[in-house]
Structure 1
Amino acid sequence: MKLNEWRPPELSSPDSNLKPPVDARGSDWRGRTLQEVNLVGANLCRADLRGTDLSNCQMVDVDLRLALYDAQTRVPDGINLQTSGAVGPGAKLSGAFLNSTDLRGMDLRGAVLMGAYLSGSDLSGAILDGVRLVGSDLRDAILRGAMCRGTRFGTCQLDGADFRGADLTDASLEGAESIKGADFSLCIGLKEQKDLLLNRPYEELDCWNPLTRNTTRKSLENLL
Structure 2
Amino acid sequence: MTSEFVDLRQWTAPETKRPENNQPPTFDARGANWSDLDIGEHDLSGALLCRCDLRGSDLSRCNLNGADLRLAIYDSGTRVPENFSIQASGAVGPGAKLNGAFLNNADLRGVDLRRSILMGAYLSGADLSGAILDETSLAGADLRNAKLRGAMCRGTRFGTSQLDMADFRGANLENAALEGVESIKGTDFSLCTGLDHQLENLLSRDAMELDHWNPFTRSTARKSLESLKNEKMA
The separation in 1 between residues aligned to 2:177 and 2:43, in whole angstroms, is 45
Q: Does 1:42 find its partner at 2:47? A: yes
CA deviation profile, 1:25-76 (whole Å, cap 9, x unmatched): 1111111111212212101011111111111222221111111100011112
Q: Does 1:22 find its partner at 2:33? A: no
Cα shift at 1:77: 2.3
Other-structure match for 1:52: 57
CA deviation profile, 1:111-146 (whole Å, cap 9, x unmatched): 000000000001111111111100000000000111
Three-state SS of the structure 2 residue aligned to 1:105 is coil
TM-score, scaled relative to structure 1: 0.96
Consecutive unaligned residues of structure 1, counting only runs of 5 or more, are: none
Q: Does 1:147 find its partner at 2:157? A: no
AA aligned to 1:34 is I
Select the residue among 204, 207, 213 that pairs with 1:199: 204
Taking every aligned residue pair, what percent have the same amino acid on both sides? 63
The separation in 1 between residues aligned to 2:51 and 2:9, in whole angstroms, is 25
Other-structure match for 2:3: none
Cα shift at 1:156: 0.7
The separation in 2 between residues aligned to 1:170 and 1:40, in whole angstroms, is 42
Cα shift at 1:17: 2.7
Q: Does 1:134 find its partner at 2:133? A: no
The separation in 2 between residues aligned to 1:135 and 1:17, in whole angstroms, is 42
Cα shift at 1:212: 0.7
Q: Does 1:121 find its partner at 2:126? A: yes
AA aligned to 1:196 is N
Three-state SS of the structure 2 residue aligned to 1:5 is coil
Other-structure match for 1:90: 95
AA aligned to 1:85 is G
Q: RMSD across aligned C-alpha pairs, in angstroms?
A: 1.1
Please list every run of at least 4 consecutive aligned residues from structure 1 whose deviation after the TM superposition is greater than 3 angstroms.
none
CA deviation profile, 1:145-170 (whole Å, cap 9, x unmatched): 11111111111100000000001011
Q: Does 1:190 find its partner at 2:195? A: yes
The separation in 1 between residues aligned to 2:186 and 2:21, in whole angstroms, is 51
Select the residue among 35, 50, 70 that pairs with 1:65: 70
Corresponding pairs, count: 223
